[in-house]
Amino acid sequence: MNSVESTDVLVIGSGFGGAIAAYHLAAGGARVVVLERGPWLAADEFDHDFQLGSSYTRIFDFVVGDGMSILGGNCVGGGSVVYFATMPRAPRFIFERRGSIGRRMWPAAIDRDSLDPWYDRVVEALPVTQQSWDKVPYAGGLFAAACAHAGRTANPVPAAIDTDECTNCNWMMAGCRFDAKRSLLLNYLPAALAHGAEIRPKHEVQSLTRTDDGRYRVHYRIVDDVDYRVLHDSGTIEAAIVVLAAGTAATPVILQRSEPELGPMPHAVGRYFSGNGERLNTMILDEDRVREVLGLDRGDGRVYEAYQIGRGPTVATWDQLDGSLPEYERFSLEQLYFPPGLGTILAQVPDATGPTWFGVEKKEMLKSWPSWLTTFTMSEDDNEGVFGPPPETGNAVRMSQQMLGNGPLRYEPTANTWRGWNLSDAAVKDIFERDGLAQVRPWTNDLVGAYTVHPLASCRIGDDPETSALDDRHELRGHPGIFVTDGSAVPCGLTVNPALTISALAERAMPGIVEAAQERGVPVTYGAPSPDGATAGRRAVAGTA
Amino acid sequence: MARTEDVDKPDIDGGRTITIEAFADTILPGEKRSPDDRAIAGAADGAGAVAAGAVELLEQPGGGMAEALDSLAFSLNEHAIEYADEQRLTLDSDVPAFVALPFDHRTALVQLLTAPDQPDKQMWVSLAVFCTMAFDSAAHLRTADAIADGHPGLLTIGYARPDGDGLWRFPRYSYGRQLADVHPHTTSTGSPA
């Protein structure tokens, strides 16, 4: 017991929030250890396979809560490995949102202008690139054409994808076999390793304690290689600084479990969770009408029949991202692919005479799967999610050896949240039922509640100690030396895909974390270039200091 | 894939397999394997969840359902007896109660069991999720093998075949032209303003 391992900075989680911290702190000279709950896979281990036990179930978690289910990454690289790499910036009005608290939710120090240089840093690092129409897959093209037909605009969305390498296989949720997706495995994480950071996979952090001299001890269990329900040895590492980036669905759970030892947590830990206002609709396209009305043709006799082809969402319509509209009435719609299994059971049969999600009519609906298209709503929810008492270990009671578990989140959508969902459902119908292009139904919320692939805000930044767990430097209130840099720190739903904003906030937090480390005696400096050595982003943020 | 040998022997495992098959057939129905098939109601043409391998998937030890199948089958039949009582149906006692229900009544009971206010909803939803996964993603098989072997669910949904190396690539993927005006306030970085 006398020889507890020690490091300068302990990073929990290796997704965007963890990888960015690991890189900057290691490059600045600190000793950095990253503990990651999931496995560490490389491109040639990413399977094109739905079989249980393939990379799809090894690196992806589906946590069912009461009223809300969360999909997220569970591997070295976190969400960046399983996500669709769609990387828009949050619209300007988002930073002025008031939500349920009746005053601005974001810290006064942050708005779109002040965050733009930090967005630029991430754009340079991954990199994020603008997408051209000539490389938009069929589904995105059809979505755009339908929007135009309805008098709406549509944009190819910036993405962290090298389209020259992409095969449009749509297996992104199982990891990118071709390294076309610019995940953290290709930039921040290898750069952190090159600067001496250590990444330890299959280490699930359970709780934190504090030493008499104000350092922290991080307590973990080793997760079994195959059966994640089985935990092996335990261990402890001591550090001057802890960067908590276990993901929105895990970060508050670790803090809640630590409360008996660490002392009271801020009220907002495990509260104000946002599902980013997400909702899905499935359309079944009438191929003949698509040809007649939109004039689309693949050139081989087919019109569309291309749901399986592409790279997740590629085109969005931003007409409702209008800051002059009332809060809760603003949303974006994005074309989306969702693989079979989880992506089919919740889709409902249009005009069903019997059950909407199973049965004879559902089987008939599945026969037209190539002619499906999914739209993805990201709207302004009411931060109404609350985490109940933590499970004994991890952030869920795992049901299957991988992927499926039950978590403590409770989410009861308010009338405000439903306003955005209903308006977006109506917009989708307006676009796709116009002139008989498609039949449209939203996914059912009756089976696993609502669902989000972009959980946010369960441990958020803010200026008000009553409604934010972190100050505007991302330090946990009342617990100096603990910083949170993942999606849980984002104050609210963003109406767009949040990964770029999570990353920009993490980049913005780095100078302050370095300063805190220095104050705690860690020999570290801030000022690393982009992971590949580029310096334009560093020069730009130097002007913000 | 289907377990025809069990069809005439509902007692072989206490009626578990035939009961689970009947549930799977209610989720995604298929045609009978033989005229005396009791589990499959024959409510739809072609293969359904049973032929797609629902029981095989549910019995995978890693899925987390295998240990629960006995009690799920027992509970499903208890619910079926209760339901039949309420509906004043007389059930054939040669097969487990859920299997004895006509297809429309199986459907109605599954709707009741998976309704939002049903206390044990989650376990029936989980059972349904696995039945669906067996059909449209063949999660008990390597996907490339399943397609090569003619997995009925993947064929039904029209899932494309992979290249020879078992990986999917779509070299033709785009209409190749601008199909809408972009938002007038799009910034120079391609984001919303």
DSSP A255-272: HHHHHHHH-PPPTTTT-S
pLDDT given at position B12: 61
- A302-325 confidence digits (pLDDT tens): 999 999 999 999 999 999 999 999
Distance from CA of A354 to the nearest CA of B (A): 9
Contacts of A63 in chain B (CB under 8 A): none
- Is residue A137's pLDDT more than 80? yes
- Is residue A2's pLDDT more than 80? no
Test B172 with A298 for CB contact under 8 angstroms.
yes
Task: Tell me the residue type at A305.
Answer: E
- Is residue A170's pLDDT more than 80? yes
pLDDT given at position B11: 54
Task: Tell me the residue type at A193.
Answer: L
Q: State both tokens at A281.
A: 């609709």
- Is residue B62's pLDDT more than 80? yes
Listed range (A75-84, A327-336, B116-125) with the worst mean pLDDT: B116-125
- A272-313 confidence digits (pLDDT tens): 999 999 999 999 999 999 999 999 999 999 999 999 999 999
Contacts of A332 in chain B (CB under 8 A): 192
SS3 assignment for A37-93: CCCCCCHHHCCCCCCCCCHHHHCEEEEEEECEEEEEECCCCCHHHHCCCECCCCCHH
- Is residue A540's pLDDT more than 90? no
pLDDT given at position B4: 43
Contacts of A362 in chain B (CB under 8 A): 28
pLDDT given at position B14: 81
- A207-227 confidence digits (pLDDT tens): 999 999 999 999 999 999 999
**Candidates B67, B109, B122, B191, partner chain A, best to mutate (most A CBs within 10 A):** B191
Contacts of A284 in chain B (CB under 8 A): none
Provide the pLDDT confidence category of residue B2 given band limits of 50, 70 and 90. very low
pLDDT given at position A442: 97
pLDDT given at position A230: 97
Distance from CA of B172 to the nearest CA of A (A): 9
- Per-window interface: B 37-56 vs A, CB < 8 A: 43-44, 48
Nearest to A277 by CA among A148, A429, A92, A90: A90
Task: Quickly count: other Cβ atoms within 10 Å of residue A466's Cβ.
Answer: 9
pLDDT given at position A165: 97
- Average the pLDDT over A358-364 and give the result: 98
Alpha-carbon gap, residue A132 to B90, rounded angstroms? 65
- B139-173 confidence digits (pLDDT tens): 999 999 999 999 999 999 999 999 999 999 999 99
pLDDT given at position B6: 45
Residue of A nearest to B111 (CA): A355
Q: In this complex, which of A169, A226, A366 lies closest to B157 when CB atoms are compared?
A: A366
- Is residue A403's pLDDT more than 90? yes
3-class secondary structure, A538: helix
pLDDT given at position A174: 97
H-run or E-run covering A145: helix A138-149
Q: State both tokens at B61.
A: 């030890």
Residue A516 near residue A241 (C-beta atoms within 8 A):
yes
Task: Tell me the residue type at A361.
Answer: E
pLDDT given at position A448: 87
Greater confidence, B10 or A324? Answer: A324
- B92-105 confidence digits (pLDDT tens): 999 999 999 999 99
Residue A260 near residue A402 (C-beta atoms within 8 A):
no
DSSP chain B: ---HHHHT-TTTTTTHHHHHHHHHHHHS----SSTT-SSS---SSS--HHHHTHHHHHT-GGGS-GGGHHHHHHHHHHHHHHHHHHHTPPPPTTS-HHHHS-HHHHHHHHHHHTSTT-TTHHHHHHHHHHHHHHHHT-TTS-HHHHHHTT-HHHHHTTPPPP-TTS----S--B--S--SPPPTT--TTSS--
Listed range (A394-398, A447-451, B5-9, B62-66) with the worst mean pLDDT: B5-9
Residue at token pair 């790279």: A311
Beta-bridged to residue A310, according to DSSP, are A169
Q: By the CB < 8 Å criterion, does B28 face chain A?
A: yes
Beta-bridged to residue A19, according to DSSP, are none
Question: What rounded mean pLDDT belongs to chain A?
Answer: 97
Alpha-carbon gap, residue B76 to B85, rounded angstroms? 14
pLDDT given at position A542: 86
Provide the pLDDT confidence category of residue B81 given band limits of 50, 70 and 90. very high
Alpha-carbon gap, residue A501 to A487, rounded angstroms? 9
DSSP assignment, residue A391? P
pLDDT given at position B8: 47
Question: What rounded mean pLDDT belongs to chain B?
Answer: 94
Q: In this complex, which of B143, B166, B170 lies closest to A50 when CB atoms are compared?
A: B143
Test A339 with B137 for CB contact under 8 angstroms.
yes
Alpha-carbon gap, residue A156 to A163, rounded angstroms? 13
- Is residue A482's pLDDT more than 90? yes
pLDDT given at position A545: 56
SS3 assignment for A406-422: EEEEECCCCHHHHHHHH
Q: In this complex, which of B115, B137, B179 lies closest to A148 when CB atoms are compared?
A: B179
Alpha-carbon gap, residue A42 to A319, rounded angstroms? 39
- A239-252 confidence digits (pLDDT tens): 999 999 999 999 99
pLDDT given at position B7: 46
